[in-house]
Amino acid sequence: MDNNVLKMLQDQVNQEIYSAYLYMSMSSWFSDNSYQGFEKWMRVQVQEELAHAAYFMNYIQDRNQSLTFEAIAKPNSEWKNPLNIFEVSYTHECGITKSITDIFVASRNIGDIKSETFLQWFISEQIEEEKTVSDIIGRLKIAGDSSNALLMLDKEYGTKIFTMAANITF
């Protein structure tokens, strides 16, 4: 397997675990500030990110390559309000989309069809991740400073549940 593509895939495992860590920090802020629904939403997001990390790990090992382990960056823990959290989340997801797209392009450039095929699932997943967060941002902007509206959205988003994609095993 090409060393550059392998290194990018190994780094992506770290990025997915960092994503989980970032969302843990955000869920903690929601807990501290009595937004129980958004806290639950973020905890489901943590599970999804750990599943993404596992999916990359499985692929690297299925290709008979080794994992590498680097430090996970410290996430921010100071947030202004729910809108600020979801705006940071959106920017973060766009960065993840870029890093996955970069691996896809690197795979294509060297004719690594297996990696290209594997990464297609993630490219579709990122479209969904960006849209979901973007929708929440739009609704939070409508809610503004209205406590009633914010509590209504908090209740609504607390119904999210974790479902493991059929192609991911831990």
Task: Name the residues that contact ligand FEO, by CB under 6 A.
Answer: 16, 19, 49, 52, 93, 96, 129
Nearer to ligand FEO, 105 or 110 (CB): 105
Q: Which CB atom, from 82 or from 143, has the smaller least distance to ligand FEO?
A: 82
In the bound complex, which residue of the shown chain has the CB atom lying closest to ligand FEO? 52
Burial readout 51-84 (b: 16 or more C-beta within 10 A, e: otherwise): bbbbbbbebbeeeeeeeeeeeeeebeeebeebbe
List the alpha helices (DSSP H) in the chain. 3-32, 36-62, 82-109, 113-143, 147-157
Q: How many other CB atoms are there within 10 angstroms of residue 113's CB atom?
A: 10
Q: How far is the CB of 78 from ligand FEO (least distance, A)?
A: 21
What is the nearest approach in angstroms of ligand FEO to the Cβ of residue 102? 14
Distance CA 153, CA 148 (A): 9
Least distance from ligand FEO to the Cβ atom of residue 42, Å: 11
Given the complex with ligand FEO, which of 70 and 110 has the nearer CB atom?
Answer: 70
Query: 78-81 — which CB contacts under 8 Å span 24+ positions?
Result: 79/26, 79/29
Nearest to ligand FEO of 58, 152 (CB atom): 58
**C-beta of 96: minimal distance to ligand FEO in Å?**
5
Residues 39/157, Cβ–Cβ less than 8 Å: no
Contact assessment for residue 39 and residue 27, using Cβ atoms and an 8 Å cutoff: yes
C-beta closer to ligand FEO: residue 5 or 42:
42
Q: How far is the CB of 70 from ligand FEO (least distance, A)?
A: 17
